[in-house]
Amino acid sequence: MNTTRISVGPLLYYWSRQSTLDFYAGVADSAVDDVYLGETVCSRRHELRLDDWLEVAAMLRDAGKTAIMSSQALIESESDLKALRRMVAQADFRVEANDMSAVRLLAEAGRKDWIAGPTLNIFNPDTMQLMMEAGATRWVVAPEMSGEAMAALLSEMQTRPETEVLAWGRLPLAHSARCFTARHFNLQKDTCEFRCLGMSDGIVLRTREGEPFLTLNGVQTQSARVHNLLADLPEVARQADVLRISPQGSHTLDVIALFREALDGQTSALAAFERSAEWMVDRACNGFWHGKPGLELQLPAGAKS
Amino acid sequence: MQSIELVCPAGSLPALKTAVDNGADCVYVGFKDATNARNFTGLNFDPKAMREGVNYAHARKRKVLLALNTYPQAHNWADWTAAIDRAADFGIDAVILADPGLMAYAAKTHPQLRLHLSVQGSATSYEAINFYHERFGIQRAVLPRVLSLPQVEQVIANTPVEIEVFGFGGLCVMVEGRCALSAYATGESPNCNGACSPGKHVRWEQTPKGMETRLNGILIDRFDDSERAGYPTLCKGRFEVNDETYYAIEEPTSLNTLELLPDLARVGVRAIKIEGRQRSPAYVAQVTRVWRAAIDKVLAGADRFTIQPAWMEELAKVSEGRSHTLGAYYRPWK
């Protein structure tokens, strides 16, 4: 049995309360080990509030999963900070810090078990060491960092953090103060009418040649292509302790099962990659892992893309 | 009223001298390599130019700030620490850093060296800024272009760190330091390579449909004969969303907060930054002159401040897309 853990990253889209609860009920029955919960993208999204998320976390814990609360990536207002303080104050679940404000609050609270999220920009051993001294035990690698750069960082650490890599999902590429979904509907963010609610996978942005390029998800911009490391699995699993699957509108549970099968050697990495094609919302990419432009796809010889 | 420093860009020695001559309090510069976020061909300072620039500014009682605001990795870490050592050796007045590991190095190795938190550090709240202050003693933070004016005021009220904001120039729509769009399209990012939408990936092509601009093959925009074709910065192209073609992320426009200057002064902003190390000395001269005059007027009495039409005309001439916006300071922009 392979010991690599599988995690479900925070839900980046805004689904209805019922769809969200149904999704996590399914996750409770899946082969996942760790589940990241909470709203990380936009403070206006309120289908579930912190207390609701904590209930989901408790349900998952009862199902044998490790639940982790993820903090909002872009902190703008005092009420954002208030929400963050409440998340840090609860002691039942670990916290993923996605901004230095969370790092400060977690360190101040003496927490020694937090997860350094992908937006903290940890790119070198010295910064990693500082985060660990502040209480981080796990590192979620920034998606733009290559496998090679990640390995180089880890090789210089005296104590290695648990390391988590995004292995499936549209790439979270940028955050803004501006909401691009509201902008698309000629609305302002403050009066956005919650138009992103129910968009299962965001809105695709295409070039003027019709090529899918990016995905608009409120204040977040994602890739259109699906970052998919299934074909790279043997190497990725050698380097990383945890593989993150980012929730998508459908088939997330199928993807989780496929990763588990591939990790446990019941199916080859390449076969798994080929099987995953029907569950992708767009074409695959894995360029970042290989130190290339993120939208590129690099496959071993003989693979079908 | 507290003084407000005017912080101007220089991508070359002539630009530095121009900024100083036209009234900049501080000039910010970068070395000729990936250690800063404007790593463009033909731009920035070699050691000789740096020494001369620092001497020129210091002789006139102005400051030189050095941007070392990209994120080093394990394989090139030594290049960044060497750059900090050189900065200290050159008598640079402050280094502008984004990476916590580098801040720790600077604080330990050169305790007298003043540290500024770069906009690339993505610190948008006082909790984040105070983290860098407590751990590394940063004395100033440059705010990402995401906060509204009351939010800026809230930050200032809750931190001992001086706050610098962007006043004018090219506008990043995304939180600086949190944008991998260029990395996704070209493999080169502001965070790790100091470049966004780099020129070597750009192609201009006249086609029957119009002038097409591409970035690593990706069509960013297409212009008909009546339009002025702009540089394909990838967040400022026209794209299709649900069959509608428009500037889905942002128009090619510049940030211009001149009209907010009295408010920025009132809430306690300590420095105004002008973007544009990649721009010409002529741009630096024009923009520095206008902002020097405006800041002097505000410092003489904010209530008597009125915008002179000539200022706006001067700035409009050098604006990207010849238009400007208040950006996130103005809530409806969001």
- Give the rounded percent of residues in chain B with a pLDDT score beyond 70: 99
CA dihedral A18, A20, A24, A27 (to 10 degrees): 120
Closest by Cβ to B181, choosing from A73, A100, A174: A174
pLDDT band at residue B170, thresholds of 50, 70 and 90?
A: confident
Span A8-26, average pLDDT? 98
Closest by Cβ to B239, choosing from A121, A175, A213: A213
User: A214 forms bridges with which residues in the sheet?
Assistant: A205, A223
Span B84-90, average pLDDT? 96
Residues of B whose CB is below 8 A from A127: 99-101
pLDDT surpassing 70 at residue B322: no
Mean residue pLDDT across chain A: 96
Q: Report d(CA A291, CA B298) in Å as an integer.
A: 49
Task: State the pLDDT at residue B37.
Answer: 77
Say if CB A263 and CB A4 are below 8 A apart.
Answer: yes
Task: State the pLDDT at residue B321.
Answer: 66
CATH number listed for the domain at residues A5-169+226-270: 3.20.20.70
Task: State the pLDDT at residue B101.
Answer: 98
Q: How far is CA B137 from the centre of its chain?
A: 22
Closest by Cβ to B128, choosing from A100, A149, A214: A100
Closest by Cβ to B123, choosing from A100, A208, A294: A100
Span A240-250, average pLDDT? 98
Residues 6+ apart with CB under 8 A from A261: A267, A272
Q: Report d(CA A18, CA B291) in Å as an integer.
A: 54
For chain B, which residues make up each domain, given as ranges? 5-171+253-333, 181-246
Task: State the pLDDT at residue B184.
Answer: 98
Q: Report d(CA A55, CA A207) in Å as an integer.
A: 42
CATH number listed for the domain at residues B5-171+253-333: 3.20.20.70
Span B161-175, average pLDDT? 94
Q: How far is CA A180 from the centre of its chain?
A: 20
Q: Is A285 annotated as a binding residue?
A: no
According to DSSP, residue B36 is labeled: S
User: Amino acid identity, residue B334?
Assistant: K
Span B120-137, average pLDDT? 97
How many CB atoms lie under 10 A from the CB of residue A17?
A: 12
Q: Report d(CA A217, CA A250) in Å as an integer.
A: 16
Among B322, B325, B326, smallest CA distance to B313 is for B322
Span A11-39, average pLDDT? 98
- pLDDT tens figures, A273-288: 999 999 999 999 999 9
Mutate to test the interface with A, among B173, B178, B239 (most CBs of A within 10 A): B178
- pLDDT tens figures, B255-312: 999 999 999 999 999 999 999 999 999 999 999 999 999 999 999 986 788 889 999 9
Q: Report d(CA B319, CA A273) in Å as an integer.
A: 48
B173–A105 C-beta distance less than 8 A = no
| Nearest residue on chain B to A217, alpha-carbon basis | B249
Q: Is A42 annotated as a binding residue?
A: yes
Mutate to test the interface with B, among A213, A282, A285 (most CBs of B within 10 A): A213
pLDDT surpassing 60 at residue B106: yes
Q: Report d(CA B180, CA A144) in Å as an integer.
A: 7
Rounded to a whole number of angstroms, the distance from the CA of A18 to the nearest CA of chain B is 27
Residues 6+ apart with CB under 8 A from A1: A264
E strand map for chain B: 5-9, 26-29, 63-68, 94-97, 115-117, 140-142, 162-170, 174-179, 202-207, 210-215, 218-223, 239-241, 244-246, 254-256, 271-274, 324-325
Residue labelled with tokens 């909002």? A72
Counting Cβ atoms within 10 Å, is residue A166 exposed (0-12), middle (13-18) or buried (19+)?
Answer: buried
Span A176-187, average pLDDT? 95
3-state SS class at B225 = coil
- pLDDT tens figures, A132-172: 999 999 999 999 999 999 999 999 999 999 999 999 999 99
Task: State the pLDDT at residue B41.
Answer: 81
- pLDDT tens figures, B181-221: 999 999 999 998 888 999 999 999 999 999 999 999 999 99
B184–A295 C-beta distance less than 8 A = yes
Residues 6+ apart with CB under 8 A from B309: none
- pLDDT tens figures, A35-85: 999 999 999 999 999 999 999 999 999 999 999 999 999 999 999 999 999
Size of interface A-B (CB pairs under 8 A): 211
